[in-house]
Structures are given as structure tokens and as C-alpha cells.
Structure 1
Amino acid sequence: MSEAGLREPDFKTPAAVRQACREGRWDKPTAGLAPGYAQANLVVLPREDAFDFLRFCQRNPKPTPLLEVLDPGDPQPRLVAPGADLRTDLPRYRVYRRGELVEERTDIRDLWHDGLVAFLIGCSFTFEQALLSAGVPVRHLECGCNVPMYRTNIPTVPAGKFHGPLVVTMRPIPGHLVAKAVLVTARVPAVHGAPVHIGDPEAIGIRDLQKPDWGDPVPVRPGEVPVFWACGVTPQAVAMESRPDLMITHAPGHMFVTDLRDQDLLQM
């Protein structure tokens, strides 16, 4: 089945996205799928590392805003998507062992055990519909590709063994709409909130916007400003620095689609 066939009309609901992932019919990025519903980053760690990572998230709420922390061994996110299964319901997963990316796969059932703790972290894909509704373009949706993501020179606040650089997403915004983009996204701190940097990429350690560390490059057109938001791929950069024995994550851009409505996360 083609990507277009899956998007229309099957992927209007989170359950349809998750079912297609579970059945192996969708293994691509989730930007633009199930519009109106919040998406989430995934981090899975052994129980012995979970408390340190929970403290890391609390100390770094911009890149790691928590939506749900599951009980050890439980793969069902009962608060944000009852009945879903975090072992199967994402398009793609990454497995890190001692800081090294060892494999990417579409199912982690055979890796799952009772000592694993799953974290769901807000994703900036969630606020993209609000940007579009406000008349702010979203370039990677226009291009039909993944959002570009970059490792920065901004350090996160350490907690226990976890430390490393902040990762950001970038969206080119027409100069006259930058203030509107800031105001729209500031209302949703649960999915990274307002930008962390606007303008010169080199000021945060990014040498070439056309060479993202994750995702796909997108054009920045005359009159546009690169705007950077904290990104839930930050834990993957942290894994490479901190080298936990095991960390399982989503593949960048391949998110878990929750049953939470976007408006439920808005701050009035």
C-alpha cells in the first residue's frame, strides 16, 4: 500500500496509526498523521536507570517534557492511550547498548522484560497543526520528509549517569511570522513549548543546516529565519554520551501517536 493510501483516509485516528504499525503496514515518519492528536517520543530503560532518567527529565523539561511514565514491565500507556502496546505500536525503534546504536527495528517484543520502564515524552509534531492553523508554514510537511534535527553545543543538566547535548528541530519561518510561531508554541510546554533559539545556527554549534544529524534537510528560503525547538531525540544523544547498558527509543521522527487531543495540552 502506498504512503498516500495509508494517509487517506485510514490515518485520521491514533488507533489507525498504531494498528498499521502493529501490523507492519507503516514504518515511516508520523508527521502529519492523525491530525489533532498528540505524538510522543519513547525512551525505555532498565529499572535500575529509570530513577536517574526521571530526574534528568525533571531537570530538562524543554527537551524531555513527560507525558507518562509506565510501571516496570508494563508496555500499555494507560494514561495517554489505553489498550496500546509500546512494543509494537511505533513505526520504528532504535536499540542502543553502552552508547552504541546497534540496530533499528519495527518491533521490540522479544527485547521486552519485566525490568524495563517506558517513558513517553512530548513531541513537537503535536504543535504543527496549530502552526498551520495560524498561517505559519511547516516546511518538512510541505516537502513530505522528516523534520531536520541537530546536535547542539548547549549542555543539558546532568542527573546521575545521564548527561549530554541538547538536540533541536529546525523549521524555517518567514521573518514576519516568527513572533507568531513563538506565541503559538509557547502555549504547549508539554510538547517542548517555545523555541530555544532563533537565527544564527553557528551560535548553537550547528555548522551546516543542510547536514542534519537526524532527519532530512529542508530549504531555507530568502526572507526566512531558522527557528529551533528542543527535541525529544535529546535522550538518544545523551545515550551516546552516558552509555547506559541498554536504551530503546523511537527512531527519530517515528513517533507514538497518543489519544490525547492537541487542545488538551494547551496552556490558556
Structure 2
Amino acid sequence: MQHLSPLQIRQQCRSGSFSGNTSGLAPGFVQANMAILPKAYAADFLQFCHFNPKPCPLLGMATAPGAFDMPALAAELDIRTDLPKYRIFQQGQLSAEVSDVRSYWRDDLVTFLIGCSFSFEEALLADGLEIRNITEQVNVPMYRTNLSCTPAGVFHGGMVVSMRPMTPANAIRAIQICSRFPQVHGAPVHFGNPEAIGISDISRPDFGDAVSIKPGEVPVFWACGVTPQVAIANAKLDFCITHSPGHMLLTDLKNSQLSVF
């Protein structure tokens, strides 16, 4: 799978032959979190993204309600089928997890794509830093925190973070590298004591899978694109579709295009 193009991976998702975690796939290309909301909530959600650019760096949005393509980011895209796995929320509650949302589609839905930490993992690997979730072949661990987001309209809640263990020296290097990529969460928001940001048990992530933390390593936390899912759940929208955590959209945009220097 690592050697397939983003289009080939999207086609495998569409055919139902791939439904797995996308970390490490299509090296060099941007992966995206996704949220699909009724038009009535789109303006509030857009404002929430603008107010909270670390967890919600907006890569793009559909040009019109009901549109399920986004040609500027991905060729031949059908957003209803081309992610490995989706979550359906009704009245703020998770009601289903599926691999195809065509039966749920409505003409008033607006799609938002948000930058994903999987994109900056490539830059860390290129610098010789280990990414533990890739090494251990699991989904990255993600945690709810006590870091508050700026509310916008009906959307509010705490920040979700993803975690990768590193030595303190490598954590400093990761800060330097990821600062070049603000559209995919940028530099970490915290490293060291998890309890300082409201995480009581690092071995029990709220999303994803636990990874090993070796002696001499510290947990390093990045703002995470699952944050909007928490805000959406808090808003208790009547209906919403998101990606399933760790199951991103593979775009045709190059990671190198997002570097600010």
C-alpha cells in the first residue's frame, strides 16, 4: 500500500478493498481529516476553524452544498466513497461507522478538509526521527485534553491531541521541523507531563491505539484533527459525517507544498 498513489488508494477505498489506517501511506502526499455538515452549520464551523488553526487547519471546503468532489485537492474524488472509513453522527451521538456514505448523502451537505498530522510524519522520518505508531504498525494514540478551543456559534470543546514518544533532544528537533508546516498542525502544543494538559493515563488513549514509551523518552503532543469531532458532538448536530480517526483522505497535494520555509 505504501507505494500506491493517492488516487490508487482512493480507488481501493471506493471499491471496498481497503478500509484500514492510512498512517505511512502514499509518502510525500497530504492526508486530510474530514467533516461534512448541513449548510445551516457551515458558517459557524468555518469560523471555528479560523479561530482554532492549530487543531483545525483548513485545507479546503466544497464549492457548493451537495458537491462531493474537490478538484483542487484530489482528482476524480468522490468524498462519499474515497475514505477508508467514516463516522455518522446523529443528535451529537455516534450512530454508525461505515465505508461508504452514499446512502446518507444529502444535497445540503458541505464538506470541509482539515490538515492531518500524518503529513508531517514524513518530514520527521526524513530527519531520522522514529514515529512509534508507524514502527509498531498501529493507529496513532489520541487524547482529550483540558486545552480549550475558542468557541464559534454552536461549536465548542477541548482540544484533542495526538502523541508520539521521543527523547527530549528529538522533541526539540520535532518542534523545529513541524514549525514549517502550520497547515498540518505545526509544532507540538506540549511535551512532557501528560497530567499538565488533563491526560490522567497515557496508556489509555481516547482514540487510536497505545504505543510503547521507552526509558528516557517523553510524550510529545500535537494538536489533532479529531478536535472538530468533539466540537461537533458537543453541538449535538442533527446530522454529520466525519472520517473515522486514523482513516484519512489521501489528497494529490504534496507535503512539500505546505512548507512555509
**With structure 2 as the length reference, what TM-score do the two structures score?**
0.98
Task: Check if 1:124 corresponds to 2:117.
Answer: yes
Aligned-residue identity in percent: 51
The 1-side partners of 2:197 and 2:168 are apart by: 20
Equivalent runs, 1:212-251 vs 2, <5 Å: 212-251=205-244
CA deviations 1:114-151 (Å, max 9, x no partner) are 10000000000001110001111100000000000000
Equivalent residue number for residue 61 of structure 2:
69
The number of aligned residues is 260
2:84 alignment partner, SS class:
coil
Superposed counterparts of 1:1-268, under 5 Å: 7=1, 9=3, 11=4, 13-70=5-62, 71-268=64-261
| 1:160 counterpart SS class | coil
RMSD: 0.8
Whether the aligned pair in 1 keeps the contact of 2:2 and 2:27 (CA below 8 Å) is: no
Aligned partner of residue 218 in structure 1, secondary structure: coil
CA distance in 2, matches of 1:66, 1:44: 13
Deviation at 1:82, TM superposition (A): 2.7
Q: Tell me which amino acid in the other structure corresponds to 1:231.
A: C
Question: What SS does the aligned partner of 2:123 have?
Answer: helix
Distance 2:2 2:191 in 1: 35
Q: Which amino acid aligns with 2:222?
A: W
Q: Secondary structure at the match of 1:166?
A: strand
Q: Distance in 2 between matches of 1:220 and 1:49?
A: 40
How far did 1:8 drift? 5.6
Q: Deviations over 1:203-231 (max 9, x none)?
A: 11101111000000001101111110000
SS in 2 for 1:16: helix
Return the offset for 1:266.
0.3
Q: Is the 8 A contact 2:2 2:26 kept in 1?
A: no
Matched letter for residue 132 of structure 1:
L
CA contact (8 A) 1:164 1:242 kept: no
Cα distance in 2 between the residues matched to 1:252 and 1:60: 19
Matches of 1:135 and 1:193, distance apart in 2: 18
- Runs of 4+ displaced beyond 6 Å: none
Q: CA deviation at 1:16?
A: 1.1
Asked if 1 retains the 8 angstrom alpha-carbon contact of 2:88 and 2:94, the reply is yes
- The gaps in structure 2 that reach 5 residues or longer are none
| Whole-angstrom distance in 1 between the partners of 2:231 and 2:172 | 31
Q: CA deviation at 1:240?
A: 2.1
- Matched letter for residue 111 of structure 1: Y
